[in-house]
Amino acid sequence: MTVTPDTLQQILAAFNRHDLDAIMAFFSDDCSFDFPRGPEPWGQRFVGKAQVRAALASRFRGIPDVHYGADRHWVSADGARGLSEWTLTGTTVAGVNITVRGCDLWEFREGKVTRKDSYWKIVEPAAPPPAQ
């Protein structure tokens, strides 16, 4: 299978449906997923379809209305790498509203995702204006 920007749009659509079966159909058996947060410089890494699926299920439970929009996608000429930019919105189970820009760096082999590396902007409260 040839990977195109439309492939990445299809993956994103499966994420927006929270359709784990459809999402995982795009991933290779030996895939990995690097979450944007975690105990290591690369965040938290999940390896293999079972771990990746469990991590995504946890994301959907933690942000039940998570949605990826305002997206753009690119794929390298050889189809081995891709990039997706998006805005993630949602509300955590604790009631915290989230709106962040982020991106995924993708790697592919034989049309399947072998690596998904996610990055999110860190949103901080605006600094108070300087004292007069």
Mean pLDDT value across the chain: 95
DSSP characters for 29-91? EEEEEEEEEEEETTEEEEESHHHHHHHHHHHHHHSTT-EEEEEEEEE-TTSSEEEEEEEEEEE
pLDDT attached to residue 51: 98
Render pLDDT for 50-77 as a digit per residue (tens, 0 to 9): 999 999 999 999 999 999 999 999 999 9
For 12, the enclosing helix (H) or strand (E) is: helix 5-17
The CA-CA-CA angle for residues 113, 114, 117, to 5°, reads 90
> pLDDT category, 41, cuts 50, 70, 90?
confident
**Whole-structure pTM value:** 0.90
Which range, of 32-41, 55-64, 72-81, 103-112, averages the lowest pLDDT?
A: 32-41
pLDDT of residue 125: 79
11 pLDDT exceeds 80? yes
Residue 123: its pLDDT value, please?
Answer: 82
- Residue 1: per-residue pLDDT: 74
- Which CATH number among 3.40.50.300, 3.10.450.50, 3.20.20.100, 3.50.50.60 corresponds to the domain 5-120? 3.10.450.50
pLDDT level of residue 132 (50, 70, 90 thresholds): confident
Domain coordinates in residue numbering, the chain: 5-120
